């Protein structure tokens, strides 16, 4: 018994690490945004649910319980590093170039196939753990499931902390996976010698024992030799199709890779090229910097939020009037890699006394700084996720306006096209432009092929003309080879602005806000139109979804499930899994909303984001532990389960009120500890339901593997729905508070079905 509890902890510990590591690796290959993240996590949770129910339930009548448990651990241990290798070499196997993008359909298929052996085996391990623990402890089935749920959650919590603060900053993904595989195989041999199980020495048992020894020797040899590093280097070469990879390292924020081709270095962040040196993207860097700085009468203090190194800062330094350049970059690893591969351009940027580098979230820096700026340059080009969207909202532009000096200018750039703008691109540009205009009385638009620039100020741009800019170039003695008078006349010609404004006049006029990030949806819709146009119609329909739609859907579900429940002999077979599914849905969204809400107010402070997740998992473990210890005293378990439904709905309403107050007063002081308190409370109200639900389900059908597998699978499916809908559809389209109302509606449906179940069983 003592050796089995650590094995359950290892299941939770290993699962979290495998999920995060494989997600990070796939984001490099698939170029991650909220859509790809949602698809990958959805596949992981779906496969875990399949493993939990369809594979895990086979243990119920099997005599080889521990042998099958060990076999699943060996399968997980083998395919975890194999999946990383397959992810890295996928494009080479498909004949694709490293920089070539894939559509959503292919991302869904290939991520599903790669994750399949790892996720299914891990999902089945939970169900097996419940059955074996029940046999060893001789406790009632519902109590056993509750305790296994607690142990696995604690393992997940420990795994998240160790992975974030120890493993990712110091070790490669393959090295981490081989270490996890060694840990899993190490625990297999003691499990095969548990006396209470009376394990028969059959050929199958001996084969599993032999495999465990072989795997242990294999992973021990790989971990304590140079083999792991050789496999890592080989996979990187294949991932980048034989190009010269001179730098490859992970940080808590993502992956940084540097490719060298002749004397040119290209820096990639999560697989996306961000910097080229010593020859940068000359057209973009010069236009991005010189349009606003030449328009400004005397630029002295400049703020660059992300994307400053590798050309932008170099262009700013050409202005003798500039006294200080504050540069905010979230990931220190990007600039460390730049400093490692020195070029005259980057040395000039990084060694200038005028440049002050701040390794911090750009919006957080802007909020905290006491300085005011002549020009604020936003280096990120697209609000393609909930984090980056915070640099394109009404609240951000209001903050920027407060931090500008008189005559100050804010510069934003978005994707553009002077030939044709599709509906998705029009909506994205229209939404952000309308948001800027909501804050600033004057805007100056410079449409372009590839990039549209939006300049905003409290002062008029009526004085701006090609001649004015060219005069300032000569007056300030700045060397800008691109900006000839003919080029300026072409780029600033009024026909482009008229054409652009005419194109977007009937597009989305909604304002992009912190708590209603519609810009994310338009960005994802534009990305989808580029790489998976077959799904365009779906996104067009999503755009029109509102709260009334979910009210109708909830009423239809309530009516349909009510009819089904009334016609069932054992209605708890539907009502209990539905209850857990909607709780999994709500739990995933609670966590996502709290993280996003924290980012809005305080910026991306990684240690605090980690704490929010940690406190949520801690709350889940505490809630499950408390209820598990009280299960014997709960006589009317169905009535108690109904009470937990009411509790979750009440808490959801309380969370809605909290976010409303945050939105109203967040410019004032709101203690960070409030988010930790809400996180632990969210986890507790989610955690209390799973043990009780198992007790209700097993009162009529006391098969522990079926109950644990089905309800754990329902929990994962609910999390899958919440994860994929939350970041892509609910939060961007409906906003935070309306998303919480959707959770309330879905929980109300499951509550109604539970009440009908109680009525039918009591009658």
Per-residue pLDDT, averaged over 202-216, amounts to: 91
**Sheet of 254-261, strands arranged across:** 244-251, 254-261, 264-269, 272-277
Report pLDDT for 536: 79
Residues 359-402 have pLDDT tens digits of 999 999 999 999 999 999 999 999 988 889 999 999 999 999 99
The DSSP annotation for 451-488 comes to: EEEEEEESS--TT--HHHHHHHHHHHT---TT--HHHH
The most confident of 61-65, 437-441, 612-616, 728-732, by mean pLDDT = 437-441
Q: Which domain holds residue 553?
A: 545-763
- Do 160 and 264 share a domain, yes or no? no
Distances 457 to 200, 252, 445, 544, 710 between C-alpha atoms, Å: 79, 36, 12, 33, 58
Report pLDDT for 541: 84
Model confidence at 534, pLDDT cuts 50, 70, 90, reads confident
Out of 111-125, 443-457, 721-735, which region has the weakest mean confidence (pLDDT)? Answer: 721-735
As a whole number of angstroms, the distance between CA 401 and CA 383 comes to 20
With pLDDT > 70 as the criterion, what percentage of the chain qualifies? Answer: 96
Report pLDDT for 763: 63
Instruction: Give domain status of residue 538, yes or no.
Output: no
Please say which residue of 522, 554, 576 terminates a domain.
522
Per-residue pLDDT, averaged over 440-460, amounts to: 97
- Do 230 and 253 share a domain, yes or no? no
**pLDDT score of 668 more than 70:** no
For the chain, what is the mean pLDDT? Answer: 91
Q: Tokens 């003798």 belong to which residue?
A: 320
Instruction: Name the burial class of residue 363, with classes exposed (0-12), middle (13-18) and buried (19+) by CB atoms within 10 angstroms of its CB.
Output: buried
Report pLDDT for 672: 80
Model confidence at 606, pLDDT cuts 50, 70, 90, reads low
Residues facing residue 268 across a β-bridge: 257, 273
Report pLDDT for 61: 66
**pLDDT score of 354 more than 70:** yes
Per-residue pLDDT, averaged over 244-265, amounts to: 92
Report the Cα–Cα distance between both ends of the chain, in Å, rounded.
Answer: 43
Q: Which residues of 274-292 are buried (b: 16+ CB within 10 A; e: fewer)?
A: bbbbbebbeebbbbbbbbb
SS3 category, 245: strand
Please say which residue of 242, 260, 293 terminates a domain.
242
Report pLDDT for 138: 75
The DSSP annotation for 560-619 comes to: HHHHHHHT-SSTHHHHHHHHHHHHHHHHHHHHHHHHHHHHHHH---HHHHHHHHHHHHHH
Q: Give yes or no for a contact between 165 and 610, defined as CB atoms under 8 angstroms apart.
A: yes
Bridge-based pairing state of the strands 450-457 and 442-446: antiparallel
Instruction: Give domain status of residue 530, yes or no.
Output: no
Distances 588 to 49, 125, 664, 682, 683 between C-alpha atoms, Å: 15, 22, 25, 10, 10
Is the pLDDT higher at 204 or at 642? 642
Residues 75-117 have pLDDT tens digits of 999 999 999 999 999 999 999 888 788 877 889 899 999 999 9
Report pLDDT for 42: 86
Residues 148-184 have pLDDT tens digits of 999 999 999 999 999 988 999 899 999 999 999 999 9
As a whole number of angstroms, the distance between CA 382 and CA 389 comes to 8
Strands (E), 287-396: 301-305, 324-328, 355-358, 373-378
With pLDDT > 90 as the criterion, what percentage of the chain qualifies? Answer: 70
Residues 6+ apart with CB under 8 A from 747: 582, 583, 586, 645, 648, 649, 652
Report pLDDT for 543: 82
Residues 274-303 have pLDDT tens digits of 999 999 999 999 999 999 999 999 999 999
Q: What's the pTM? A: 0.90
- Do 116 and 5 share a domain, yes or no? yes
As a whole number of angstroms, the distance between CA 35 and CA 102 comes to 13
Instruction: Give domain status of residue 321, yes or no.
Output: yes
Residues 56-68 have pLDDT tens digits of 667 666 777 788 9
- Do 235 and 253 share a domain, yes or no? no
**Which of 477, 391, 470 minimizes the C-alpha distance to 436?**
391
Instruction: Give domain status of residue 532, yes or no.
Output: no
Residues 301-345 have pLDDT tens digits of 999 999 999 999 999 999 999 999 999 999 999 999 999 998 999
- Do 464 and 342 share a domain, yes or no? yes
- Do 423 and 299 share a domain, yes or no? yes
Sign of the C-alpha dihedral computed for residues 521, 526, 530 and 535 taken in this order: positive
Domain at 747, CATH number? 1.20.1250
Per-residue pLDDT, averaged over 510-538, amounts to: 89
Instruction: Give domain status of residue 28, yes or no.
Output: yes
Question: For the chain, how many structural domains are there in total?
Answer: 4
Per-residue pLDDT, averaged over 554-571, amounts to: 94
Containing 450, the helix (H) or strand (E) segment is strand 450-457
**pLDDT score of 128 more than 90:** no
- Do 238 and 331 share a domain, yes or no? no
- Do 238 and 248 share a domain, yes or no? no
Instruction: Give domain status of residue 126, yes or no.
Output: yes
Report pLDDT for 598: 87
- Do 217 and 98 share a domain, yes or no? yes
Q: Is the peptide bond before 365 cis (omega within 30 degrees of 0)?
A: no
């Amino acid at each position: 018994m003592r050796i089995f509890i650590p094995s359950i902890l290892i299941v939770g510990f290993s699962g979290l690490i495998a999920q995060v590591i494989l997600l990070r690796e796939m984001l490099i290959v698939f170029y991650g945004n909220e859509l790809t993240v949602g698809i990958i996590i959805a596949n992981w949770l779906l496969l875990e649910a399949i493993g939990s129910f369809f594979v895990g339930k086979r243990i119920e009548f099997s005599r080889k319980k521990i042998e099958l448990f060990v076999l699943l651990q060996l399968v997980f241990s083998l395919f975890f590093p194999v999946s990383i290798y397959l992810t890295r070499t996928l494009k080479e196997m498909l004949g694709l170039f490293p920089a070539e993008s894939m559509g959503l359909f292919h991302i869904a298929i290939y991520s599903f196939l790669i994750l399949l052996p790892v996720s299914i085996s891990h999902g089945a391990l939970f169900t097996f753990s419940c059955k074996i623990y029940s046999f060893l402890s001789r406790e009632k089935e519902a109590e056993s499931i509750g305790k296994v749920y607690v142990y696995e959650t604690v393992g997940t919590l420990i795994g998240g902390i160790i992975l974030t603060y120890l493993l990712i900053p110091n070790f490669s993904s393959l090295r981490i996976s081989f270490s996890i595989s060694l840990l899993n195989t190490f625990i297999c041999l003691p499990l095969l010698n548990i006396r209470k199980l009376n394990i028969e020495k059959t050929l199958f048992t001996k084969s599993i024992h032999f495999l465990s020894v072989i795997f242990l020797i294999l992973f021990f040899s790989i971990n304590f030799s140079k083999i792991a590093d050789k496999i890592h280097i080989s996979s990187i070469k294949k991932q980048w199709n034989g190009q010269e990879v001179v730098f490859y390292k992970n940080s808590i924020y993502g992956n940084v890779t540097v490719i060298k081709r002749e004397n040119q270095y290209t820096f990639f962040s999560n697989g996306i090229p961000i910097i080229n040196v010593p020859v940068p993207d000359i057209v973009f860097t010069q236009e991005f910097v010189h349009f606003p700085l030449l328009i400004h009468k005397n630029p002295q203090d400049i703020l660059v939020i992300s994307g400053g190194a590798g050309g932008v800062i170099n262009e700013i330094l050409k202005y003798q009037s500039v006294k200080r350049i504050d540069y905010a970059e979230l990931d220190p690893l990007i600039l460390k890699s730049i400093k490692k591969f020195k070029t005259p351009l980057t040395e000039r940027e990084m060694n200038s006394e005028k440049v002050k580098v701040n390794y911090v979230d750009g919006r957080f820096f802007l909020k905290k700084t006491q300085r005011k700026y002549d020009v604020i340059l936003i280096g990120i080009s697209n609000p393609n996720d909930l984090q980056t969207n915070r640099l394109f909202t009404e609240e951000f532009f209001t903050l920027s306006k407060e931090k500008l000096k008189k005559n100050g200018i804010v510069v934003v750039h978005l994707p553009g096209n002077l030939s044709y703008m599709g509906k998705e691109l029009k909506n994205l540009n229209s939404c952000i432009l309308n948001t800027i205009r909501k804050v600033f009385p004057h805007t100056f638009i410079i449409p372009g092929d590839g990039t549209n620039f939006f300049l905003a100020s409290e002062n008029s741009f009526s004085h701006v003309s090609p001649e004015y800019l060219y005069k300032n170039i000569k007056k300030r003695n700045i060397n800008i080879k691109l900006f000839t008078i003919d080029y300026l006349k072409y780029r600033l010609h009024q026909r482009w602005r008229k054409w652009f404004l005419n194109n977007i006049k009937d597009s989305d006029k909604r304002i992009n806000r912190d708590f209603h990030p519609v810009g994310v949806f338009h960005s994802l819709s534009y990305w989808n139109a580029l790489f998976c146009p077959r799904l365009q119609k779906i996104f067009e329909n999503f755009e029109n979804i509102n709260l009334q739609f979910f009210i109708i859907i909830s009423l239809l579900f309530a009516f349909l499930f009510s009819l089904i429940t009334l016609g069932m002999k054992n209605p708890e077979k539907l009502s209990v899994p539905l209850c857990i599914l909607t709780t999994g849905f709500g739990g995933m969204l609670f966590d996502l909303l709290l993280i996003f809400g924290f980012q809005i107010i305080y910026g991306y402070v990684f240690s605090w984001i980690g704490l929010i997740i940690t406190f949520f998992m801690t709350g889940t473990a505490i809630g499950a532990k408390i209820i598990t210890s009280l299960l014997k005293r709960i006589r009317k378990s169905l009535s108690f389960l109904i009470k937990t439904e009411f509790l979750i709905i009440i808490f959801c309403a309380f969370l809605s009120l909290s976010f409303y107050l945050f939105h109203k007063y967040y410019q004032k002081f709101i203690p960070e500890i409030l988010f930790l308190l809400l996180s632990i409370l969210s986890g507790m109200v989610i955690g209390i339901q799973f043990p009780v639900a198992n007790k209700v389900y097993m009162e009529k059908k006391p098969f522990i593997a079926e109950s644990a597998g089905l309800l754990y699978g329902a929990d994962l499916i609910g999390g899958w729905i919440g994860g994929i809908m939350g970041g892509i559809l609910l939060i961007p389209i409906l906003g935070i508070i309306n998303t919480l109302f959707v959770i309330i509606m879905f929980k109300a449906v499951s509550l109604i079905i539970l009440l009908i179940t109680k009525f039918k069983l009591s009658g």
